[in-house]
A and B are shown apart, each in its own frame.
Chain A
């Protein structure tokens, strides 16, 4: 199955569950969904790093165990929603447990190489931030990092997961970049930036440009203590071939996750009429 189809399947499955459970407003509670489906959910007893969560089946009985080593309510809810993805998504039983094993474990991190894990991540995001409710919330959220924070509070999701989902639904020019040290881990862009002609997309492993994020990462305590900084940059500092437009560069340390989140956004209209004509 292509990545696009897998995402569509995850989105549709999550939307159906939200609807079946009668949720009409944010936040969506994954614990309540599990309870309604008779899935036993418990926290791991140890707070040491390790498996972030797992789905277990014994006979016809299912359970989800989640870790507490990352002290973040949004992370915990995402972990439970991710394991619910393995439970609700078609085709996961035979691909996760081909030999009849009864346990599937997941490790934390936002980008997995395993297509099933990526689909479960996408499901979790779509479940906690469902299309209709989230789109409406985005319309009233404003822009930049303040909008992402407001949405994260509404959805009770982590800043990172919310920021990634936000780029899918906003009409504004927004890019979300996660970095560690001097390197970029990944980047998500709103359609408004993706559609810019001649722009070179950022790749994993690319070096951070000179600027606020790079200076911020130079001091590890900024990340540990979840400090934040507001600055400005030019879009072409980050993306080769991009128009020379001033962007806001909001930077925040992600605490025990050990990474930095950067949100680039602008109030200016960017792009050109020719690009729009292509639509």
Chain B
């Protein structure tokens, strides 16, 4: 599944091996669920990702310009994510 050996998925489940984001994305896309669902951070498999106020680690310590840039980039990715979910 998703190019993984069954033993690799079993290792992820048991915590013996830690997945990368690339592993998580491939699994999530194959199973049509969100990465947050795989990580146990959501109970519903297909809802959107983390809410805006939780997004930004160290956000308060960044310059105003960086904060503005990050917000703009988040909007671009959110739109791309929406299109992926809609299949458009």
Instruction: Choose from A51, A59, A63, A99 the contact partner of B35 (Cβ within 8 Å).
Output: A59
The interface residues of chain B, by DSSP majority, are classed as: helix
Determine which residue in A51, A63, A103 has the highest number of CB atoms from chain B within 10 A of its CB, and name it.
A103
Q: How many A-B residue pairs have CB under 8 A?
A: 126
Q: Is the CB of A103 within 8 A of B77?
A: no
Chain B residue nearest to A54 (CB atoms) is: B70
Q: Is the CB of B57 within 8 A of A90?
A: no
CA distance A102 to B58 in the complex (A): 11
Q: Is the CB of B18 within 8 A of A37?
A: no
Closest CB in chain B relative to A270 CB, distance in Å: 42
Give per-residue flags for B46-57: 1 if the beta carbon is below 8 A from chain A beta carbons, else 0. Answer: 001110001111
Q: Is the CB of A93 within 8 A of B24?
A: yes
| B22 CB contacts on chain A under 8 angstroms | 37, 87-88
| A135 CB contacts on chain B under 8 angstroms | none
Instruction: Choose from B29, B48, B77 the contact partner of A56 (Cβ within 8 Å).
Output: B77
| A40 CB contacts on chain B under 8 angstroms | 76-77, 80
Q: Is the CB of B49 within 8 A of A65?
A: no
CA distance A58 to B41 in the complex (A): 14
Query: Which residues of chain A (24-68) have a CB below 8 Å from chain B?
Result: 37, 40, 42, 44-46, 48, 50-51, 54-63, 65
Q: Is the CB of A50 within 8 A of B21?
A: no
Q: Is the CB of A93 within 8 A of B20?
A: yes
| B66 CB contacts on chain A under 8 angstroms | 44, 46, 50-51, 105
Q: Is the CB of A50 within 8 A of B63?
A: yes
CA distance A86 to B34 in the complex (A): 19
Q: Is B44 an interface residue (CB 8 A)?
A: no
| A86 CB contacts on chain B under 8 angstroms | 21
Instruction: Choose from A54, A62, A102 the contact partner of B25 (Cβ within 8 Å).
Output: A62
Q: Is the CB of B20 within 8 A of A103?
A: no
